Structure 1
Amino acid sequence: MDANQQTRANPFGMDAECENCPELCETRERVVHGYGDVGADFLFVGEMPDDESDRTGVPFTGEKGEVLQNVLGYLGLNNSLPGDDEPELENAFLTYLTRCHAERSPTDDEIRTCEPYLNAEIRMINPEILVPVGQRALTEIATEYTTTPADEFDAEDDHATTIRGRGFEIVPMRDPGEQSEADREAFVDHFQSLMAGDYRQTKGRRSR
C-alpha cells in the first residue's frame, strides 16, 4: 500500500453524499466508492453495489464478493479471509461503474453520471491491468479503452483472457455469481501467468 494512503475505503475522498441521481438516493443506504490500494497495478470494476456492498460500503463484499476475494487471496492480493467486510488488499483496487444500490441494473444515464468518479480513480491509480467483472462492466470498459466495437466482447467467452486496450491490458472476468470452480481456476492461472511476466510493459506509453 502507498505510504501516503490513510484509508482503503474511498481513499480519494469522493462525495459520500452524492445526490446526482435522486431516484437512487431512495434505494441506497450509502454511496459505495472505490476501495483498496491507491498504488495498485490491478483495478477491478463491477457493475453496481449489491445489497451487501451497500451495507458495508465496500465493493465486492458479501456472497458474490467472497468469490472475488477468494481469487484475490490465491493471487496474493488479499491478506484477509474471504468474506471480510474490510479486506486487506495489496496491489488491488475494487470499484464500480455506479455507486448506488438498486434492485435493477443501472441505466445508461446513471452510468454516465457516475463516469467521472470511475475516470478519476483510474487516472489517479494509473493501473496496469483493468479487470471488468461481468458483462456490463466489460461493455463499458471496452467502449472506453479499446478500438473494437464493445458488442464483440462477451464476459463468458472472454473470461480469463487478455485484451490489448488503449493504455491498459484488459482481463475480463465472469460475474462471480455465475462462475464455476473451473472458471475461478482458469482466471487464477491466467492472472498468475500475467503477474509472472512483464505486465508493466505498457507503462510510459499512455496518452490521456
Structure 2
Amino acid sequence: MASRSARQTQLDLHVRELWQCRRCPRMIPPPVSGGPILSKVILVGQAPGVKEPVLARPFAWTAGKTLFGWFKQFCGMTEAEVRARIYFAAVCRCFPGKTSAGGDRVPAPDEIRNCSSWMDAEFDLLRPQLVIAVGKLAISQFIEIGKLDAVIGRTFPMRRQRRTFDLIPLPHPSGASPWHRIPPGKALLGDAMRLIA
C-alpha cells in the first residue's frame, strides 16, 4: 500500500485530471469536485446542479444547505468540517442541463458509464470504509432500490474492487421531494444520519 503522502499526490493528480474531463458532449462542463480530500468516507451524489460549477464545489446551493443541516443536526458537524473530512464524489461530475419542464436532467446511461472510471479510481485510491449514497441514482450504483423506505436507515455491507465497506443510503435533500420531511421518511432519515454519526 502506498504511503499517505504518495496517495495524496495521486489523489491531487486524479482531481486535476477530473477537472479537465470533457467525455460527455451533452453534459455542461466543468466537472465539479470537492477537492483532493484523503478520507475513508466517500459521499456520492447524483450530479452537480446549475450553481455548483459556478461555485466550484458539490452541494453548494439549496440541496447542500439541507444536506449540511442534517450533518449539523445529527452529527454535530459544520459544513466546513464535513467538507474537510469527507471525499465528495458523484455518479456524474458535470451538470447534465435542464429538462423541458425545468428540472435538472437525470444523467443518461452512457454518461454514467463514461464517468464511472472516476469513481473506480477514487475507490482504488481512498479504499473507503464508509460510502454515503445520496439519492436514488447514487444508491442504485451500489444496490437495487425500489422504495426509499426499504433502504434508508440501514447499513449495507458491500464489496467493490475486492474491498469491503459499509453503504449508508440517504434520500436526496432536494426541495422538490418532500420524502425526507414527512413520515416515514423523516424518521428514517434520522435513523440513517445516526448510523453515520
Question: Structure 1 length normalisation: TM-score?
Answer: 0.71
CA contact (8 A) 2:15 2:35 kept: no
Q: Check 1:130–1:136 CA distance in 2 against 1; reply closer, same or farther (3 A cut).
A: same
- Give, in whole Å, the separation in 1 of the partners of 2:119 and 2:61: 22
Specify the SS of the correspondent of 1:90: helix
- Give the drift of 1:118: 1.0
- Give the drift of 1:79: 5.5
The residue that corresponds to 1:123 in the other structure is: 124
- Give the drift of 1:53: 1.5
CA contact (8 A) 2:75 2:194 kept: no
The residue that corresponds to 2:91 in the other structure is: 97
The residue that corresponds to 1:145 in the other structure is: none
Deviations 1:85-119 (A, max 9, x none): xx762331111110111221000000000001111
The residue that corresponds to 2:101 in the other structure is: none
The residue that corresponds to 1:199 in the other structure is: none
- Give, in whole Å, the separation in 2 of the partners of 1:55 and 1:88: 20
The residue that corresponds to 1:137 in the other structure is: 138
- Give, in whole Å, the separation in 2 of the partners of 1:131 and 1:124: 17
Q: Check 1:55–1:29 CA distance in 2 against 1; reply closer, same or farther (3 A cut).
A: farther
Q: Check 1:48–1:79 CA distance in 2 against 1; reply closer, same or farther (3 A cut).
A: closer
What root-mean-square deviation, in Å, do the aligned CA atoms of Structure 1 and Structure 2 show? 2.8
Q: Check 1:15–1:94 CA distance in 2 against 1; reply closer, same or farther (3 A cut).
A: closer
CA contact (8 A) 1:43 1:92 kept: yes
Structure 2, unaligned runs of 5 or more: 99-104
After superposition, where does 1:25-40 map in structure 2 within 5 Å?
28-35=28-35, 37-38=37-38, 40=39
Deviations 1:159-203 (A, max 9, x none): 1210111111111101112322545433322222xxxxxxxxxxx
Q: Does 2:42 align with 1:43?
A: yes
Work out which structure has the larger RCO, using CA pairs closer than 8 Å and 6 or more positions apart in sequence: 2
Specify the SS of the correspondent of 1:51: coil
Q: Check 1:79–1:68 CA distance in 2 against 1; reply closer, same or farther (3 A cut).
A: closer
The residue that corresponds to 1:173 in the other structure is: 170
Percent identity (aligned): 20
CA contact (8 A) 1:46 1:97 kept: yes
After superposition, where does 1:53-92 map in structure 2 within 5 Å?
53-73=52-72, 74-78=74-78, 80=80, 89-92=83-86
Q: Check 1:88–1:161 CA distance in 2 against 1; reply closer, same or farther (3 A cut).
A: closer
CA contact (8 A) 1:9 1:34 kept: no
Structure 1, unaligned runs of 5 or more: 81-86, 143-149, 193-208
Q: Which has the higher helix share?
A: 2
The partner residue of 2:196 within 184, 191, 200 is: 191
Q: How many residues align?
A: 172
